[in-house]
A and B are shown apart, each in its own frame.
Chain A
Amino acid sequence: MYVAVKGGEAAISNAHRLLADRRRGDRNLPAISVEQIVAQLALSVDRIMAEASLYDKTLAALAMRQARGDMIEAIFILRAYRTTLPRFGYSNPINTGEMLVERRISATYKDLPGGQLLGPTFDYTHRLLDPDLLNDSPVEEPITAETGHEPIMRVADILAGESLIEMEEPGEEETTPGDITREPLEFPLGRDERLQALARGDEGFLLALGYSTQRGYARSHPFAGEIRIGLVDVEVDIPELGFAVSIGKVQITECQMVNQFKGSAKQPPQFTRGYGLVFGQSERKAMAMSLVDRALRASEFGEDITAPAQDEEFVISHSDNVQATGFVEHLKLPHYVDFQAELDLVRRMRAEYEATQTGTATTEHKEAAE
């Protein structure tokens, strides 16, 4: 005898209890602390902050722990918190030219003012599993040096000095940038909104799209003009004071991709820019973002739009992993009402199909008999 399924409430609560148990894991081991996550899994924390668009290491680490290490789940938790925060105002544009640089490399110049600074990079490490890390072996203090007084000028500014690269927008007038977290997206987007969407876009998705441009789907001949990672001041204008006040520092990764452009009737041959800016230390994301940014500027330069990476609606509508994961995973919600409707139609069409089949069979039979 069928009894209508009840007890969803109890089932949910038990499932969450089990989740809490699995999250904690073996009780004989100490629980991992948020401070440990911030200190030792810093790049995960950075990714959560970047894609959640909220710069708060403690909350990002908490979200990561709560999500059992599932990055997209953690990003989602942090975003759902961010969205409830009141908006006090907007900061002034950060000045990456005055960054306290920890890493800065350029692939276009052998040496340049400020020099090449490798910083804490995985580059040139050999990816051999390190048994020393199994134990808590002592780690040497890093070697530090006094900062030079030479400003670390941006590579794009060096090129701009010679007018070899396009000027940076906005050229004509000071416009207030859009805010994709407060206004609905309407295509086509301005580059400001597009860059915002890319900055919180899924790292994997942008990586794949950026990669596709390198393999010939919207090739843009990119050079990594510069990648810099470091701390920048965030300044806010305080109307009562009449001047800007620094409210703190954030770590960011900036990538300026320099791309070839043959010129058009209106523009002389020059280099064009692809831009990437991400919270925290994430070179991969910043580089991928700058490749995709450049690809999405195709129509600006009158280039043919032939590849997915150049298609703004395609890229931006699908780059948000919180949206994507929600919609993909919603397929596990019950759909039996719609399925019933489809089932009914398929059965009806099957019946009609079988009726025509037997119909033809009898006619054939008749014909044969005649």
Chain B
Amino acid sequence: MTSAGNLATYNFAYLDEQTKRMIRRAILKAIAIPGYQVPFASREMPMPYGWGTGGVQVTASILGPDDTLKVIDQGADDTTNAVSIRAFFQKVANVKVTTKTGEATVIQTRHRIPEEPLTEGQVLVYQVPIPEPLRFLEPRETETRKMHALEEYGLMHVKLYEDIARNGHIATTYAYPVKVGERYVMDPSPIPKFDNPKMHRSQALQLFGAGREKRIYAIPPHTEVVSLDFEDYPFEIQKFEKPCALCGAENVYLDEVVLDDKGGRMFVCSDTDHCEDRRNAGHVGELGVAQTEAAE
């Protein structure tokens, strides 16, 4: 008979130590071969597949009691899934959590890279839905593995070329493929291509976990990460016409917020921590309220 008492015990950071060791080995291999997708025996996690189980497993395996964890989803610390994952680690690992990018030792993210440049010693853990950059060109794993082994990436260039021929643009705006360390073409997870340049020679270690697809890959610090393009159609990032309406930041990624049903819109920082920092430092955007006034 199973008693309730037996059920309630879980190891530090949920995963048992054997599993963590297996995942750490996969991570080490991934770091040794930048951009290469290492298969690993992904576990069922207590949250659904597709909701960050890969990232959660990577985080659970690297987290120590002294770490400070930040979790973001769409750039924000307070989106429901980020809240849920942060609460999970508070519960099972009792680690310190933060919303400050600078204070975190481990940052788990979905769909964004923080605006504040990451520094040495930090680890950025990405949640990855489909790790295979060639998947939508070739659905078969047996084929895509061969293509990576032979460094046969012509198909990807043909796809990008066809985009230009048809639309005049490369029609990939997020999950924009990159080449890592001049060898593997890699899916950066569905971050907007705006964030791609931040991966290049980043001081932080970047780890990617795909739970459902059972793959881990990595970009070690200071690794070259190049977004695929053509000489005559160089890679470009999105540009926003206006700065953040709350903090006035330029050259940051903005979310569009619909204000009314008459086409009223405002654009605000997607990175909520960055926005808050700037507002605290006295920056005010078009629709923002100065922090001192607001406090009064």
Counting CB contacts under 8 A, is A369 at the interface? no
**Is there an interface contact between A337 and B51, defined as CB atoms closer than 8 Å?**
no
Residues of A in contact (CB 8 Å), total 54
Counting CB contacts under 8 A, is A214 at the interface? no
**Is there an interface contact between A9 and B87, defined as CB atoms closer than 8 Å?**
yes
Counting CB contacts under 8 A, is B1 at the interface? yes
If over half of B's interface residues share one DSSP class (helix, strand or loop), that class is named, otherwise mixed; here it is loop
User: Distance in Å from the Cβ of A187 to the closest Cβ of chain B?
Assistant: 5
Task: Kindly state the separation between the CA atoms of A361 and B27 in the bound complex, as whole angstroms.
Answer: 59
CB-CB under 8 A for A337 and B75, given A8-B80, A187-B141, A327-B129: yes
Counting CB contacts under 8 A, is B96 at the interface? no
Counting CB contacts under 8 A, is B194 at the interface? yes
**Is there an interface contact between B49 and A349, defined as CB atoms closer than 8 Å?**
no
Q: Which residues of B contact A1 (CB under 8 A)?
A: 287, 289
**Is there an interface contact between A329 and B50, defined as CB atoms closer than 8 Å?**
yes
CB-CB under 8 A for A79 and B51, given A344-B173, A344-B238: no
Counting CB contacts under 8 A, is A20 at the interface? no
Q: Which residues of A contact B80 (CB under 8 A)?
A: 8, 11-12, 333-334
Counting CB contacts under 8 A, is A76 at the interface? yes
Q: Which residues of B contact A8 (CB under 8 A)?
A: 78-80, 82-83
CB-CB under 8 A for A6 and B173, given A187-B141, A327-B50, A338-B190: no
Task: Kindly state the separation between the CA atoms of A343 and B256 in the bound complex, as whole angstroms.
Answer: 10
Counting CB contacts under 8 A, is B137 at the interface? no
A1, A76, A83, A322: residue with the most chain B Cβ atoms closer than 10 Å: A83
Q: Closest A residue to B51 by CB, please name it.
A: A330
Q: Which residues of A contact B246 (CB under 8 A)?
A: 4
**Is there an interface contact between B2 and A337, defined as CB atoms closer than 8 Å?**
no
- Kindly identify, within residues 26 to 83 of chain A, every residue whose CB is under 8 Å from any CB belonging to chain B: 56, 58-59, 76, 79-83
**Is there an interface contact between A337 and B18, defined as CB atoms closer than 8 Å?**
no
Q: Which residues of A contact B191 (CB under 8 A)?
A: 337
C-beta contact mask, B45-56 vs A, less than 8 Å → 1, else 0? 110111101000
Chain A binder among B117-125, B153-161, B163-171, B222-230: B163-171
**Is there an interface contact between A56 and B50, defined as CB atoms closer than 8 Å?**
no
CB-CB under 8 A for A329 and B44, given A84-B14, A344-B173: no
If over half of A's interface residues share one DSSP class (helix, strand or loop), that class is named, otherwise mixed; here it is helix
C-beta contact mask, A1-31 vs B, less than 8 Å → 1, else 0? 1101111110110000000000000000000
Counting CB contacts under 8 A, is A345 at the interface? yes
**Is there an interface contact between A335 and B50, defined as CB atoms closer than 8 Å?**
no
Q: Which residues of B contact A317 (CB under 8 A)?
A: 141
**Is there an interface contact between A2 and B49, defined as CB atoms closer than 8 Å?**
no
Q: Which residues of A contact B256 (CB under 8 A)?
A: 336, 340, 343
CB-CB under 8 A for A4 and B173, given A59-B2, A326-B53, A330-B129: no
Counting CB contacts under 8 A, is A183 at the interface? yes
**Is there an interface contact between A326 and B41, defined as CB atoms closer than 8 Å?**
no
Task: Kindly state the separation between the CA atoms of A333 and B110 in the bound complex, as whole angstroms.
Answer: 10
User: Distance in Å from the Cβ of A335 to the closest Cβ of chain B?
Assistant: 7
User: Distance in Å from the Cβ of B92 to the closest Cβ of chain A?
Assistant: 11
Query: Of A2, A323, A326, A345, which contacts B173 at CB under 8 A?
Result: A345
User: Distance in Å from the Cβ of A349 to the closest Cβ of chain B?
Assistant: 6
**Is there an interface contact between B78 and A6, defined as CB atoms closer than 8 Å?**
yes
Task: Kindly state the separation between the CA atoms of A341 and B245 in the bound complex, as whole angstroms.
Answer: 18
Q: Which residues of B contact A336 (CB under 8 A)?
A: 74, 255-256
Query: Of A2, A4, A80, A348, which contacts B272 at CB under 8 A?
Result: A4
Task: Kindly state the separation between the CA atoms of A337 and B139 in the bound complex, as whole angstroms.
Answer: 26
A325, A338, A341, A343: residue with the most chain B Cβ atoms closer than 10 Å: A341
Counting CB contacts under 8 A, is A354 at the interface? no
Q: Which residues of B contact A326 (CB under 8 A)?
A: 48-51, 53, 212
Query: Of A82, A323, A333, A341, which contacts B81 at CB under 8 A?
Result: A333
- Kindly identify, within residues 120 to 179 of chain B, every residue whose CB is under 8 Å from any CB belonging to chain A: 129, 139-142, 167-169, 171, 173-175
B16, B173, B190, B194: residue with the most chain A Cβ atoms closer than 10 Å: B173
A2, A6, A11: residue with the most chain B Cβ atoms closer than 10 Å: A2
**Is there an interface contact between B83 and A337, defined as CB atoms closer than 8 Å?**
no
C-beta contact mask, B252-267 vs A, less than 8 Å → 1, else 0? 0111110100000010
**Is there an interface contact between A83 and B43, defined as CB atoms closer than 8 Å?**
yes
**Is there an interface contact between B192 and A188, defined as CB atoms closer than 8 Å?**
no
User: Distance in Å from the Cβ of A247 to the closest Cβ of chain B?
Assistant: 15
C-beta contact mask, B9-49 vs A, less than 8 Å → 1, else 0? 01100111010000000000000000000011111111011
CB-CB under 8 A for A323 and B2, given A12-B80, A184-B42: no
Q: Closest A residue to B48 by CB, please name it.
A: A326
Counting CB contacts under 8 A, is A216 at the interface? no
**Is there an interface contact between A2 and B266, defined as CB atoms closer than 8 Å?**
yes
CB-CB under 8 A for A80 and B44, given A2-B268, A184-B214, A340-B256: yes
Counting CB contacts under 8 A, is B7 at the interface? yes
User: Distance in Å from the Cβ of A31 to the closest Cβ of chain B?
Assistant: 16
Q: Which residues of A contact B214 (CB under 8 A)?
A: 184-185
Q: Closest A residue to B240 by CB, please name it.
A: A344
**Is there an interface contact between B44 and A322, defined as CB atoms closer than 8 Å?**
yes
Q: Which residues of A contact B115 (CB under 8 A)?
A: none
- Kindly identify, within residues 280 to 335 of chain A, every residue whose CB is under 8 Å from any CB belonging to chain B: 313, 317, 322-323, 325-330, 333-335
Could you list 10 examples of A-B contacts with CB < 8 Å? A1-B289, A4-B78, A12-B83, A76-B48, A84-B16, A187-B141, A317-B141, A333-B81, A334-B74, A338-B192
- List 17 additional A-B contacts (Cβ < 8 Å) besides A9-B83, A79-B44, A322-B44: A2-B259, A2-B287, A8-B79, A56-B2, A76-B48, A82-B44, A83-B43, A183-B41, A313-B142, A325-B49, A326-B49, A333-B81, A334-B79, A337-B255, A340-B253, A340-B254, A341-B193
Using a CB–CB cutoff of 8 Å, the interface residues on chain A facing chain B are 1-2, 4-9, 11-12, 56, 58-59, 76, 79-84, 86, 181-188, 313, 317, 322-323, 325-330, 333-338, 340-345, 348-349, 352
